[in-house]
A and B are shown apart, each in its own frame.
Chain A
């Protein structure tokens, strides 16, 4: 049943009713058309760096290419998501991405689907799985509000990191970056034993002290993270001093 405020666009020759104001990418997905996109996320601002979501607009002879994540769908738009021109370009882009991050699983997956041969492992091990999508940077800035990481450097030498690549003063160890990372590049390990239990944000070369639960004494979250939340969200006194398990137990009691 068509809602009153739908707009009509044409995807690959077939008309479709989509929500006005949606990006071409979201509009396509809403009608079941898949477009690969590695650097976009519905909760984050648009970045437009991977270029995989490209589509063609317009009629034969006068088509132009746009990135569907950053272009709004408008009434009457004629969109081609899978033309031979787009397929060929995507193939070249994935091959380039594979050269940059040969061990990144989503890239390997795309490569397999497109029939691209696996890349020979090259130097630059550090970035072997980072595709520079920036999802971690935007998450830390826009969702968490810590702004601990950013892009550094130009061109192929570009990296994501904390200021001066050492011991961040802003990272709260929440792990949202690792959660949103599509390739598993961001590594976190907890060392709960010993006198100084800590969380090691390996990729950001930062160590954070783990807070011990006031009920059962086990380290459960970085102190900085708990303080960050306490400062931003109204929580009851002492709420954040217990770990989630104990909080539940104490509630029932």
Chain B
């Protein structure tokens, strides 16, 4: 159906409401990339088959990822009048048991995660209740979702639509509050008023640079040009960061609505979503959403019966991290190699094909509709200092609860790591938190009282970055981490300017020498010299920030560098500085290490203690992985 006015929108919303709150049972399975990788498709298939064979009526749908990545596959069961039930770590066997249970009216609880009685509809600013009437025999004692530490401290603005499964069915998007913001922006508000609302919100670019979004929109609006372009930068390249992938896969309409509003504010008629080619599901989902919007008349000509035209196309990246940089992204769209160019001129004045161009990050755009719905003043009440609103982080690494989270700006890192992330089981402790990807740095454990906001992280020698937050325990070597990021940048440097092309190479060579036990104090001086040249003379942001990881490691973990210069790797990581040996007291003689060893370096007879021949050992640690008794030690 075509959506031309409020009435059409209301009808679409009603359609979606019926899907989100059906009269019967609704079962969902999270089918985003991680869920699929962990077998969610098999769970879905098992549910489908069992529902059929049990002749149990239920709407079965796939939804996006809800952020609790460590517990995929995730299934929810919604029964009229009953709280929503969420199940985690589901297997096909669990799926079959669940359906059988539903049929009998006794739900199996061994995989239950939580119940949700009410959920915040953040667009409308009200609570939506699942219950009402007789709760259908839900046993007591199931944890409420809001009480779970993972969810308790989050404030989901960009991640608001996780449960809805909007990525497949467009009606569910307005049922979750989508489109009235775009409708206002296009019909009720002048572009200046839209920008003013963004200004009030204090929203800053979520891709890492943190530039005020309203200022960027204003600059593009004021720029002179025959045509203007609006680009969504989905070239999320920071290793360990997947906020944008998740948004594009699980809620593409929120990003597109943000683009619609931004295009209206800036005067752009052509939009492009630039997505990494390594994110095929995101590309499929956003392409599908664009097609649906076109069909509904929400993209194309005369949107909402106004004279506003806006079309959006999708462009796949071609495997170059540097194309996340604005001018390199533009070069790529123009069919050239992704070599950045000097700024000024800025894309706002001279961007794609020389025309004024606005480039915004995925998360920034996903937040825009909420800002317009609830007001900029509302958004700015969350946050701290100059960092207003919320930020989505991908909390990964050594924490127990790895996942995608959204918290108010300024939330202390330790709250994120210990309360939300669940800290570290098995006697491990935090060593450092890495933020900002290859442009960022490591915050040592003793400083995790810091708030997650732009200024605090920059002052500590890191940056906010796009949202990757990597928790490292004592098994991480900070010199190895510095080498890792330098290796990454060396491989991704476009090669145009000398300081980045050669600087990353030479710094990598030095770090490699240090991790091999061949480093000298002079090497540390050279690292600092080259770091200075990079930050002050490199042509683009990639080069300018390339030395940050090394500098921050040197600042907070100098002792580890000194240990490597003296020939040891305290964390037991650097291959040339470690030795693997078998603790004869723990060894059970099972021989799995001998079988796993590719170099024939493990000798031993069955049921007798095994031993490693150091000369033959290539330190691949296959034995360490294979040993069930923890008898292989790394020194």
Contact = CB atoms under 8 A, between A and B. Distances in A.
Given A100-B501, A100-B502, 20 more contacts: A49-B497, A51-B499, A65-B537, A88-B532, A89-B532, A92-B499, A92-B529, A96-B498, A96-B533, A99-B505, A99-B506, A100-B505, A132-B501, A151-B337, A154-B320, A154-B492, A155-B505, A156-B493, A158-B495, A158-B501
A97 B506 CA distance: 11
B87 to A, nearest CB: 46
A155 B342 contact: no
Nearest to A39: B498
Interface in A97-117: 97, 99-100
B586 to A, nearest CB: 44
B502 A97 contact: yes
A176 B23 CA distance: 79
Contact of A51 (B337, B490, B530, B539): B539
Contacts, number: 86
Nearest to B320: A154
24 contacts: A47-B496, A48-B539, A50-B497, A50-B498, A51-B537, A67-B342, A89-B533, A92-B532, A96-B498, A96-B499, A96-B503, A97-B502, A100-B505, A151-B495, A154-B493, A154-B494, A154-B495, A155-B495, A155-B501, A155-B504, A156-B495, A156-B501, A157-B495, A158-B501
Interface string B472-493: 0000000000000000001111
A72 to B, nearest CB: 11
B502 A96 contact: yes
A153 interface: yes
A44 B378 CA distance: 54
B536 interface: yes
Contacts of B538: 51
A156 B505 CA distance: 7
Contacts of B490: 155-156
Nearest to A133: B498
Interface in A49-68: 49-52, 54, 65, 67
Interface of A: 47-52, 54, 65, 67, 70, 85, 88-89, 92-93, 96-97, 99-100, 132, 151, 153-158
A93 B499 contact: yes
A70 B344 CA distance: 11
B380 to A, nearest CB: 31
A93 B533 contact: yes
A111 B320 CA distance: 34
Contacts of A70: 342
A49 B502 CA distance: 11
Contacts of B499: 51, 92-93, 96
Nearest to A134: B496
Contacts of A155: 490-495, 501, 504-505
A70 to B, nearest CB: 6
A96 B502 CA distance: 6
B537 A99 contact: no
A85 B496 CA distance: 23
Nearest to A85: B536
A48 B342 contact: yes
Contact of B497 (A48, A85, A153): A48
A65 B536 contact: yes
Contacts of B539: 48-49, 51
